[in-house]
Amino acid sequence: MLTPMRAILGRSGHHTRIVQYKYTLTSVALSSQGSEEILDAIEGKGRIIAVKATSLSTDFDLSIRDKTGASGSTNNEIFAVNAINLNYDEADMNVYYRNADTTYANKLYVVIKNDDGSNATGPIALELFVETMDKE
């Protein structure tokens, strides 16, 4: 389970805020199935507005899921990008999500698949920028 560095960046509306979550993911060697990690302490529902990922691999895939145990399936995939060469940086996204575990939790899941036969990914720096509703 990965606990993020978390920063509230500001408000995007009267009852919403933008939160930055920074995670460091475990290195992944060449793999066909991918490795799933839990993104803990993230709001269980919200809107992803930006994603940044950096690695030592010249060919890795990143998939964000709303349910655990989904490594072999893309049924619960809310965001995916393939063939990332060292880094990925995308803003102006509009990816709404809600945790789909049997018991609702403040978690998402990331699956990293490394297709680079020469390099392990090394630790992966993952940043998510999420718009969430204020809690009352």
Question: In the chain, what are the domain boundaries?
Answer: 5-133
Q: What is the pLDDT of residue 1?
A: 59
Q: CA–CA separation, 59 vs 84, rounded Å?
A: 5
Q: What is the pLDDT along the chain (136 residues), one digit of tens a residue?
A: 566 777 777 777 778 889 999 999 999 998 777 888 999 889 889 999 999 999 999 999 999 999 887 555 667 899 999 999 999 999 889 999 999 988 888 999 999 999 998 889 999 999 999 999 876 4
Q: What is the pLDDT of residue 123?
A: 93
CATH ID of 5-133, from 2.60.120, 2.40.360, 3.30.499, 1.10.1200 = 2.60.120
pTM (2 decimals)?
0.86
